[in-house]
Amino acid sequence: MESIPYLTNVESLVYGVDSITLTMEDIVMKKKLQVMFSFMFLGVIGGIAYAGYAGGGGGDNKVAYPEGYRDWYHVKSMVIMPGHPLEDPFQGIHHIYANDKGLEGLKTGNYTKGAVLVFDLLDYEKGGNALQEGERKLIGVMEWDKERFSSTGNWGFEGFAGNSKTERLTKDGGQSCYECHTAQKDNNYVFTQLRD
């Protein structure tokens, strides 16, 4: 195999020589390693950035959109009609979902890191002596993490507008949600209870 003189400025300083003879195979291997380490670096940086965005313990501690929540445990449903104290802004059909850790918390009263509860609020349509689901108004999300959300009862709060996974409704870090939920402090700030 043909040998080619090859030397970077760094190698020249480190080894104190003017040239190093490498084979083409050595050069190709060196380039492959550089590319591999570049991708590894980008992967690590991307993972850190995603964790911060998705509420994974970094960045601004945002609560992530609850992908696949409709496959979780359906806790219960209810309808808020005109005249209810929470009519504005919560009039509509409510579906409550819990992931596995959220369900365990509802059962035991003790929540652990990663417990998530979802409040799916839909408008309703009346017709034929029935109420049917209308357009989605919002998705409310509570995520339990005592390190990240200690100032709001260990819960992170977020709302997502309509069917959007990115349009966030919470503007104050969940403080206003938390203030409403303080009425349920003895129930770990959770309004929802499991049905018998």
Instruction: Please report, for the domain that includes residue 124, its CATH number.
Output: 3.50.70.20
Confirm whether 104 is domain-assigned: yes
Confirm whether 34 is domain-assigned: no
Confirm whether 64 is domain-assigned: no
Q: Is the pLDDT of residue 66 over 80?
A: yes
Q: Do 120 and 139 form a contact (C-beta atoms < 8 A)?
A: yes
Q: Is the pLDDT of residue 56 over 70?
A: no
Structure confidence at residue 52 (pLDDT): 38
pLDDT in tens, 125-170: 999 999 999 999 999 999 999 999 999 999 999 999 999 999 999 9
Other CB atoms within a 10 A radius of the CB of residue 163 amount to 10
Which residues, at least 6 apart from 38, have a Cβ–Cβ distance to it below 8 Å? none
Structure confidence at residue 196 (pLDDT): 80
Confirm whether 8 is domain-assigned: no
86-91: which pairs have CB atoms within 8 A and are 24 or more residues apart?
89/137, 90/121
Q: Which of 2-16, 45-59, 82-96 has the highest mean pLDDT?
A: 82-96
Q: Whole-angstrom Cα distance, residue 171 to residue 141?
A: 14
Structure confidence at residue 103 (pLDDT): 98
Range of the domain at 124: 71-187
Q: Do 178 and 152 form a contact (C-beta atoms < 8 A)?
A: yes
Q: Is the pLDDT of residue 189 over 80?
A: yes
Strand 155-161 to strand 3-6: parallel, antiparallel, or no bridges (unpaired)? unpaired
Higher-pLDDT residue of 54, 150: 150
Q: Is the pLDDT of residue 46 over 90?
A: no
| Structural domain count, the chain | 1
Confirm whether 35 is domain-assigned: no
- 29-38, 64-73, 77-86, 143-152: range with lowest mean pLDDT: 29-38
